[in-house]
Structure 1
Amino acid sequence: MSQAPMGLAQPAAWSPQTQQRSQSASERRARHPRCWATSCAAYVGTRPPASTTTCSAVGSSSASGPRASPGGSDGGGQGSGDGEGIRLTDAQERMIHQLVTAQLQCNKRSFSDQPKVTPWPLGADPQSRDARQQRFAHFTELAIISVQEIVDFAKQVPGFLELGREDQIALLKASTIEIMLLETARRYNHETECITFLKDFTYSKDDFHRAGLQVEFINPIFEFSRAMRRLGLDDAEYALLIAINIFSADRPNVQEPSRVEALQQPYVEALLSYTRIKRPQDRLRFPRMLMKLVSLRTLSSVHSEQVFALRLQDKKLPPLLSEIWDVHE
């Protein structure tokens, strides 16, 4: 996992109510349309709301991204001052610190569950029925740990518990697989072309296939992971992107979409400011990140086909996964 951002304030907890905005509600709707997935270009060239606090060192970079500080004179886009003068508000700094801290805590709890996972079969006939079942159990148990981690994180995302229970469930059911895929991409090693779960479990494409997954699902996972690596997101950007993904108002069965949308907006604004500070020369970085959420919708559909294929193979999912993915036996 990349290093957590440095220089972020650590004061009292942030909540959606503390977010200060300089625009009226109508102005915000005009600048940030409801369906961000199809209008992210509207963000290109716009300047975030007026802010009050300088983030002296916005994030240590991931492997492919340099450290940036606000007020740089080498900004790109619509002029050399595109990143100049942009600041994170105190509320945004608190928000980012909360999200990154929550992710680290949830990740540590997942490590403690590692010994509970069925061992990957070694030395046995790889084609034997027992070995295939053991590999499938291994992967599904890792998926359960991942789902539990996502649920724990969502509960700590400011605003999530303010929603009604029905909307919490609807958002989690729809976003869980997409967040799992984001976390998978985060753990991708381009040198070995493997993905590491928890701390010691590393898997190649062949391992995914031997666990019972289809090539039609495996290849897009690795393609998405490579694309995410090229973006070079740090922990703060991943955490904000996941929060934006959770608060997607167009999910099925959401009862209060306008409320969900309102909760999402501060995270979108924070990510916009953060990316402008970190990479002032790359004004397309922010829309590229949002478009990855569109790619996740496609991957989610492919995942549904994979789950259906597993059912045809008479491979039963554990109850938690069946519930979260709406699998009806």
Structure 2
Amino acid sequence: MWQRCARRVTEAIERVVEFAKRLRGFLQLSQHDQIVLLKAGAMEVVLLRMCRAFDAASGTVLFEGKLAGPELFRSLGCPELVASVFDFARGLSALRCSESELALLSALLLLNAGRPWLQDRPRVARLQGQLDVLPAPGRLRALCSQHLEQVQAFRRLHPAGVSAAFPPLYRELFREEAEPAAGRGR
């Protein structure tokens, strides 16, 4: 199930990357800052966009072409994370955000000058300032941290499974900082 979810998340992250490339000024940032912003915000945007796949009437989410409830994800071994993600999707779905509103919120999540390790924070702040400023989405950050903790727990249980089973983009985005990045000096 982790492998199946990793593939779906990777597909969603690829769409987030394409969205980011279309944000005015994003491609003018250094490659380093683009990567920092994507690593920090991509999962937040994926969780945000999940509300479009959530069916409030049945409490299910569209997953691999079928409606699935939390019980399908039981084998992940992280029921609190699954419940939190479904609760978040339910709450966000109830807001009935338009595509424009979701796009604006997605842009705000991606162009966040408060992200650690940015090299040109003022430039990112200028891009961020071009958008309407909303309160910091702390719940998304908490869910992303919870997701990362569960990936790391899975990695400890199945160290070889992550390298063999997960798509390269997923492995790169959710690797531990102490791990060497693929293709960089080892």
Q: Same fold by TM-score, threshold 0.5 exceeded?
A: yes
Q: Are 1:175 and 2:24 matched, yes or no?
A: no
Partner of residue 37, structure 1: none
Q: 2:113 aligns with which of 249, 270, 278?
A: 249
Counterparts of 1:148-227 in structure 2, within 5 Å, are 148-197=14-63, 200-210=65-75, 212-227=76-91
Residue 255 of structure 1: how far off its partner (Å):
0.7
1:39-54 maps to which residues of 2 (within 5 A)? Answer: none
Q: How is 1:1-329 mapped onto 2 (pairs within 5 angstroms)?
A: 135-197=1-63, 200-210=65-75, 212-268=76-132, 290-291=135-136, 293-314=137-158, 315-316=161-162, 317-327=166-176, 328=179
The residue identity in structure 1 corresponding to 2:74 is H
Query: CA 1:265–1:138 in structure 2 vs 1: closer, same or farther (change >3 Å)?
Result: same
How far is 1:138 from its partner?
A: 2.1
**Larger CA Rg, structure 1 vs 2:** 1
1:242 CA displacement: 0.2
SS at match of 1:301: helix
SS at match of 2:132: helix
- Residue identity matched to 1:296: L
Structure 2: which 5+ runs fail to align? 181-186
TM-score normalised to structure 1 length: 0.50
Q: Using the alignment, how far apart are the partners of 1:254 and 1:268 within structure 2?
A: 21
Taking only the aligned residue pairs, the percentage that are identical comes to 31
CA deviations on 1:25-77 (whole Å, 9 max, x unpaired) are xxxxxxxxxxxxxxxxxxxxxxxxxxxxxxxxxxxxxxxxxxxxxxxxxxxxx
Is the alpha carbon distance of 1:163 and 1:201 closer, same or farther for their aligned partners in structure 2, counting shifts above 3 Å?
farther
How many residue pairs were aligned?
A: 173
Question: The residue matched to 1:181 in structure 2 has which SS?
Answer: helix
Structure 1 residue ranges without an equivalent (≥5): 1-134, 270-286
Deviation at 1:213, TM superposition (A): 4.6
Distance 1:189 1:325 in 2: 28
| Cα RMSD after superposing both structures | 1.8
Partners of 2:63 and 2:127 lie apart in 1 by 30
Shift of 1:201: 3.6
More helix by share: 2
1:268 alignment partner, SS class = coil
| AA of the residue aligned to 2:169 | L
Q: Distance in 2 between matches of 1:319 and 1:298?
A: 24
* 1:312 CA displacement: 2.2
Separation (CA, whole Å) in 2 of partners of 1:226 and 1:202: 14
Give the aligned residue type for 1:205.
Answer: P
- Give the aligned residue type for 2:121: P
One-letter amino acid matched to 2:43: I
Residue 222 of structure 1, CA deviation: 1.1
